[in-house]
Amino acid sequence: MTHSAARKSFDSPYDLEAPPGAEGWKDLYPYNLVFQENLRDKENAKFWFCDSQHWPNVFKPFETVGVEFAVRCLGAFNTRHYIIPPANGIEFRIHNGFCYMSPVAVAPELIGDRVPHFLERAGHYFANWDSLLENWKKKVLGTIAEMDAINFETLPEMVDLDVITGGLGIDPSAKMMADYDRLIQLAYQNWEYHFEFLNLGYVAYLDFFGFCKESFPSIPDLAIARMVQGVDSVLFRPDDELKDLAELAVKLGLVEIFAANDGAEQTLAAITAAAGGDEWIAAWHAAQEPWFNYTSGNGFYGSDVYWRDNLDLPMGYVKDYVERAARGDVLKRPTAELITERDRIVGEYAEFLSGEALDTFHGKLGLARTVYPYVEDHNFYIEHWTMGVFWRKVRQLSRLFQSYGFWENADDMLYLTRDEVRPVIFDLVTGWGVGADPIGPTYWPAEIERRRGIVAALATARPEPAFNTPPETINEPFTIMLWGITTEQVQQWLAGDDADNPGLKGMAASPGVVEGIARVITGPEQLPHLQQGEILVAPTTAPSWGPVFGKITATVTDIGGMMSHAAIVCREYGLPAVTGTGSASTKIKTGMRLRVDGSQGIVTILD
């Protein structure tokens, strides 16, 4: 491969071939999500970057639901709700199975007119933050409860007698069709709520951020993040619950049982039989709702496994924790130290200010701290809890079809788009209604095999980091803050791999310097390979990888800014992190010795 340091543009998606075996991939996704041939010029005029932070893996057709709902709603709150003066939403496309984004600017001459609307609308939310947020929680939990009540069950041989005696005149098909639509609609609803507060949280954060940059030019972004950040986000509660369970096990003298057993079923049986076991079992059950609605994925994939649905996962973490607690390790995050350090940082910067500037500093910091917890907490309510219930119901429906012979594997429905599922339901209830065979079982197995082959072929290639010509400078603060995409970063991508450079540059996301052995993890299913003391290297991490953060000594990711989940978790756990390196997970191999400088954002491959 030749070096092309002078390269000014990335390839066009129109010129980029699909990997062998993936021909025809576009037909797997909705027409509006792929680069359409007749829009070549228009699409090529835009700069697109790959969001492998949220969507590191190839989408199965059903899974586009996440990016569609999330990014649509993100945009709507900027564009239609709060009329954020300089920023509309983000366009998104799928190319070769991966997700690409392009922020939509507001024409400079239109910005002024948007200001009064923003003042009125965002002003209302900032002024009534706490009461609106309380209401938000009710709405979100209501949605979850409604979704949880949905069930897709085998159709009866004949309708209930109640239908006859009650003169209802309707069979379960209508409910099944309505329930499916309702499930999709409820997920959509919580994705709307997801962004009701999030964008404003970032706006307030950016306001404080801008003030700090003016007061203290070149203040590290990390300093600002640490001043705002809380230390007791609800996002860390599931992990804390497991630690509590581990400590309780030590207190009750159950350490031997954890050492001697594997898996949830076996361990729970042994504990139930042990003296003092009842108390632990009660605590285990009490922790599950809602805290086991938690995934080591990120909520955007049908394959994400939620603790509630696979108790071996949390039990495995508890087993690790019990072993460490028995050794005398302190399991809890160093919250007192984090708070002391946060207060020191705030105190020292405040000392450099006086008068109105000092008042402004405290005012903006106060607002940022009021709104910021949402930026962390929402993740549990939506990505984990809502999506956990959502995917459980999707799987339930998929398994129902499997039982009727529509497809071979339990989760094969993920190879259909969500809009292809509606006619499948109608096919099923029609066959059931007329007393004949549905058509699906003769159609879908082969079609799903074909699609499975295409998805597998797409997954053989890593995504291009971006398409087309980047803007000269990237100064859109949301893009920088959330995705870690800076002018420098884009230039580094353009320069390509430099064989002489034994290191990677990224965001200084969480301070500290460590050396250690790398472990490259490209998906949550590989997490059990992580050994104590290793450095985690991944395309991206989910905040729910919490329990492994007790094992590792640092984190390096390809994608992610100061406010990416990897950065937040590392700061909460006091581990060094470098995020947004672009290519760490491909350039670094498991077993390499690394030096990770989370204060400078530099990763060095030592040998």
Partner 1 sequence: MSNYTFPFDSDQTPVHERLGGKCTSLAIMTSAGAPVPPGFAVTTDAFDAVMNQTTLLDHIARVLDGLDMDDIAEVDRRAAHVRELIRTQEVPDDVRHATVAAYSALMERCGGEVPVAVRSSATAEDLPDASFAGQQDTYLWVTGEKEVLQKIRECWASLYTARAIVYRAANAISDEGLSMAVAVQKMVNSRTSGVAMTIDPKNGDRSKIVIDSSWGLGELVVSGEVTPDNFLVDKVLLHVVERIISDKHEELVPTGRGTVARREVDADRRTSPSLTDDEIVAVARLAKSAEKHYGSVQDVEWAIDADLPAGENVLLLQSRPETVWSQKVKVAQHTSSGSGIEAITRSLLAQMGARAGASD
The structure tokens 């491909």 sit at 586
What is the nearest approach in angstroms of partner 1 to the Cβ of residue 213?
9
Per-residue tokens: 306: 């939620």
- Smallest gap from Cβ 36 to partner 1, in A, equals 25
In 3-97 the beta strands, taken as DSSP E runs, fall at: 48-50, 87-95
Q: How far is the CB of 447 from partner 1 (least distance, A)?
A: 45
Minimum distance between the CB of residue 11 and partner 1, rounded to whole angstroms? 23
Q: Beta 577-579 vs 507-510: how paired, if at all?
A: antiparallel
Minimum CB–partner distance for residue 253 and partner 1 (Å): 44
Least distance CB 579 / partner 1 (angstroms): 16
CB atoms within 10 A of CB 118: 17
Q: What is the dihedral of CA 388, 391, 397, 400, to 10 degrees?
A: -80
The span from the CA of 376 to the CA of 74, in Å, is 16
CB atoms within 10 A of CB 237: 18
Which is closer to partner 1, CB of 180 or CB of 195? 195
Cβ atoms < 10 Å from Cβ of 360? 14
**3-state SS record for 295-322:** ECCCCCCCCCCEHHHCCHHHHHHHHHHH
* Pick 210 or 502: Cβ nearer partner 1: 210
Least Å from the CB of residue 604 to partner 1:
11
Q: Residue 317: how many CA atoms within 13 Å on its side-chain side?
A: 28
CB of 52 to partner 1, least distance (A): 24
For the bound state, the minimum distance from the C-beta of residue 282 to partner 1, rounded and expressed in Å, comes to 45
Rounded Cα distance between 145 and 438, Å, is: 32
Choose between 100 and 211: whose C-beta lies nearer to partner 1. Answer: 211
Nearest distance in Å: CB 119, partner 1: 6
CB of 127 to partner 1, least distance (A): 8
Task: Determine the distance from the C-alpha atom of residue 512 to the mean position of all C-alpha atoms in its chain, rounded to a whole number.
Answer: 25
SS (H, E, C) 309-366: HCCHHHHHHHHHHHHHHHCCCCCCCCHHHHHHHHHHHHHHHHHCCCHHHHHHHHHHHH
Identity of the residue, 192 or 476, whose beta carbon is nearer to partner 1 in the bound complex? 476
Give the span between the Cα atoms of 215 and 357, in whole angstroms: 8
Output phi, psi for 465, to 5 deg.
Answer: -70, -25
Residues contributing to the site for partner 1 (CB under 8 A): 84-87, 105-106, 108, 111, 115, 118-119, 122-123, 126-127, 203-204, 206-207, 210-211, 214-220, 222-223, 344-345, 348-349, 352, 356-357, 360, 363-364, 366-367, 471-473, 475-477, 508, 511, 513, 597, 599-600
Q: How far apart are CA 515 and CA 535, in angstroms?
A: 8
Taking the least distance from each CB to partner 1, the nearer of 10 and 211 is: 211
Amino acid at 191: W
- Number of residues in the chain: 607
Which amino acid would we find at residue 501? N
SS3 content of the chain, % helix, strand, coil (to 5): 60, 10, 30
Query: Which residue lies nearer to partner 1 by CB, 479 or 544?
Result: 479
Residue 475 main-chain phi, psi, to 5 deg: -130, 20
Is 167 within 8 Å of 413 (Cβ atoms)? no
Minimum CB separation of residue 504 from partner 1 in Å reads: 17
Name the residue nearer to partner 1 (CB basis): 38 or 218.
Answer: 218
Q: Token pair for residue 569?
A: 């978790």
Q: Pick the closer one to partner 1 by CB: 257 or 368.
A: 368
Question: Cβ closer to partner 1: 276 or 512?
Answer: 512
DSSP 3-state of 494: helix
Nearer to partner 1, 82 or 292 (CB): 82
Q: Which is nearer to partner 1, 269 or 602 (CB)?
A: 602
Nearer to partner 1, 190 or 199 (CB): 199
* Closer of 343 and 419 to partner 1 (Cβ): 343
The distance of Cα 34 from the centroid of its chain, to the nearest Å, equals 22
What SS3 class is residue 114? helix
Q: Which residues pair with 518 in a beta bridge?
A: 535
- CB 208, min distance to partner 1, A: 9
Of the candidates 63, 547, 53, 4, the one whose C-alpha atom is nearest the C-alpha of residue 320 is 547
